[in-house]
């Protein structure tokens, strides 16, 4: 099959060969249900315990703070709906640039009498402390602000915001799904600053799809989303997906070991990419804000992003025109709109998210292909005009 160069790591990542090796036995002979008391079950239980330790170590948490779920969306739903169910309705504050799996659950809380407040971001996509403090004063008892944005890569100053939340006695959650493996994620330090929960996901760090975790301060009371056999200390019932959890643990271990080296290498590649983009008529969003080392969200003046992306796929490059989850609808990126970017410019947006398999050659060839494709599209536009 024709395999384009993959530059869409924020959407999902390929499985690391060592992760596959760790998982395979659990798709083969080690098939026990972890709740069974016999040897097959005990082996599964033990594998999950090990994976839990690995995930905890990667995020600086205690294993008992790790709750496995089937995905990041589920973990975000679990926290927002679960915490809200144990609080008296007030205001839930989420940033204006959250992923739909944080925004939508927050909106659902309206049915239970909650108000939803969107915390504005500036032109760079960063939350200002004054806006945040104003949100808390509503009063907002539940807050969620993502650590790293999936589209722009922008990082928020979570410790500062969490400190304000704690002073206002609000539970603070951060979606760290894009952050893990790219920048340091230390729950112990974040928790000390006021973060009560964070979400991480396996398939963003070269692990399998199907496993994620809500890392949770035990003081937070949560009503479970899924009831039943009582797994995960009753917070998430259902037969554990041992293979995916084992893969998640292995991926976490690898990610921690490589974090510094990966981040340095990716930053170098990203810089090279941006240097090349500067020569074309492009605008890189949030260029000067603190960002993930691998993400470049940019627009080519006057070119439709969807069209450009489709053309690039044909010439051998897999990129995105925004979040995968919302690529069903042709709406412009709500992150860019929240940053005050016009809908027209937002429609030209393109995201490159680099990863382990990408080389300098990929970047050079991508820039070439981008240049050629843009010329072609402009040429066609000129003919049509």
Partner 1 sequence: MLKFPIYLDYSATTPVDPRVAEQMIPWLVEKFGNPASRSHAYGWEAEKAVEDARENVARLVGADPKEIIWTSGATESNNLAIKGAALFYQGKGKHLVTVKTEHKAVLDTTRELERHGFEVTYLDPLENGLVDLEQFKAALRPDTILASVMYVNNEIGVIQPIEQMGEICRGKGVIFHVDAAQATGKVAIDLAKLKVDLMSFSAHKTYGPKGIGALYVRRKPRIRLEAQMHGGGHERGLRSGTLATHQIVGMGEAFRLAREEMASENERIRMLRDRLWKGLSDIEQVFLNGDLEQRVSHNLNISFAFVEGESLMMAIKDVAVSSGSACTSASLEPSYVLRALGRQDELAHSSIRFTIGRFTTEEEIDYTITLLHRQISKLREMSPLWDMYKEGIDLNTVQWAAH
What amino acid positions are annotated as catalytic residues? Answer: 325
Any bridge partners for residue 95, and if so which? 119
Question: Which of 112, 264 has the CB closer to partner 1?
Answer: 112
Burial class (CB in 10 A: 0-12, 13-18, 19+), 36: middle
Question: Which of 28, 169 has the CB closer to partner 1?
Answer: 28
* Shortest spacing between CB 210 and partner 1, in angstroms: 4
* Helical segments of 60-217, H only: 72-84, 100-108, 129-136, 158-167, 187-193
Binders in 217-236 for partner 1, by CB under 8 A: 225-231
Kindly tell me which residue out of 33, 50, 267, 315 binds partner 1, with binding defined by CB under 8 A: 33
β-strands 5-6, 317-318: how paired?
A: parallel
Is 243 a binding residue for partner 1 by CB under 8 A? The answer is: yes
Is 304 a binding residue for partner 1 by CB under 8 A? The answer is: no
Tokens 């929240």 belong to residue: 338
Is 238 a binding residue for partner 1 by CB under 8 A? The answer is: yes
Instruction: State how far the Cα of 196 lies from the Cα of 212, in Å rounded to an integer.
Output: 17
Binders in 344-373 for partner 1, by CB under 8 A: none
Here's the x/- map for partner 1, 127-166, by CB under 8 A: it reads as ----------------------------------------
Kindly tell me which residue out of 67, 93, 105, 355 binds partner 1, with binding defined by CB under 8 A: 105
Instruction: State how far the Cα of 22 lies from the Cα of 43, in Å rounded to an integer.
Output: 14
* Window of 10-18, 55-63, 360-368, 371-379 that interacts with partner 1 by CB under 8 A: 10-18
Question: Which of 267, 327 has the CB closer to partner 1?
Answer: 327
Any bridge partners for residue 180, and if so which? 183
* Shortest spacing between CB 385 and partner 1, in angstroms: 26
Kindly tell me which residue out of 54, 61, 99, 286 binds partner 1, with binding defined by CB under 8 A: 99
Binders in 305-334 for partner 1, by CB under 8 A: 306, 309-310, 313, 318-321, 323-328
> 270-281: buried (b, 16+ CB within 10 Å) or exposed (e) per residue?
beebbebbeeee
Instruction: State how far the Cα of 136 lies from the Cα of 128, in Å rounded to an integer.
Output: 13
Question: Which of 39, 361 has the CB closer to partner 1?
Answer: 39
What are the helix and strand counts (H, E) for the chain? 12, 12
The number of angstroms, rounded, from the C-alpha of 344 to the middle of its chain's C-alpha atoms is 26
Rounded to a whole number of angstroms, the distance between the first and last alpha carbons of the chain is 37
Is 50 a binding residue for partner 1 by CB under 8 A? The answer is: no
């Amino acid at each position: 099959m024709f395999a384009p160069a993959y530059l869409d790591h924020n959407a999902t990542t390929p499985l690391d060969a060592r992760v596959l090796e760790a998982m395979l036995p659990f798709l083969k002979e080690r098939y026990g249900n972890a709740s069974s008391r016999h040897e097959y079950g005990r082996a599964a239980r033990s594998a999950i315990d090990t994976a839990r330790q690995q995930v905890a170590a990667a995020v600086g948490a205690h294993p008992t703070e790790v709750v496995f779920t089937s995905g990041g969306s589920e973990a975000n739903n679990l926290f927002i709906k679960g915490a809200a169910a144990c609080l008296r309705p007030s205001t839930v504050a989420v940033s204006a640039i959250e992923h739909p799996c944080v925004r939508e659950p927050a909106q659902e809380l309206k049915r239970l009498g909650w108000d939803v407040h969107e915390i504005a971001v500036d032109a760079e996509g960063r939350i200002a402390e004054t806006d945040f403090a104003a949100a808390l004063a509503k009063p907002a008892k539940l807050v969620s602000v993502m650590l790293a944005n999936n589209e722009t890569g922008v990082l928020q100053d979570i410790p500062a915001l969490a400190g304000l939340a704690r002073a206002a006695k609000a539970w603070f959650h951060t979606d760290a799904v894009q952050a893990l493996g790219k920048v340091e994620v230390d729950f112990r330090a974040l928790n000390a600053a006021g973060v009560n929960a964070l979400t991480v996901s396996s398939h963003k760090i070269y692990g399998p799809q199907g496993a994620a975790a809500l890392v949770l301060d035990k003081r937070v009371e949560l009503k479970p989303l899924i009831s039943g056999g009582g797994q995960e200390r009753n917070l998430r019932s259902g037969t554990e997906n041992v293979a995916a959890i084992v893969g998640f643990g292995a991926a976490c271990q690898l990610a921690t070991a490589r974090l510094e080296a990966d981040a340095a290498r990716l930053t170098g590649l990203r810089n090279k990419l941006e240097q090349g983009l500067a020569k074309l008529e492009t605008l890189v969003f949030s260029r000067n804000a603190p960002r993930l080392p691998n993400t470049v969200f940019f627009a080519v003046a006057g070119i439709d992003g969807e069209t450009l992306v489709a053309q690039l796929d044909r010439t051998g490059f897999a990129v995105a025109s925004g979040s995968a989850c919302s690529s069903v609808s042709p709406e412009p990126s709500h992150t860019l709109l929240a940053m005050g970017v016009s809908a027209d410019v937002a429609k030209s947006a393109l995201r490159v998210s680099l990863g382990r398999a990408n080389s300098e050659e990929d970047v050079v060839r991508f820039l070439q292909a981008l240049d050629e494709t843009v010329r072609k599209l402009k040429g066609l536009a000129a003919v049509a005009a």
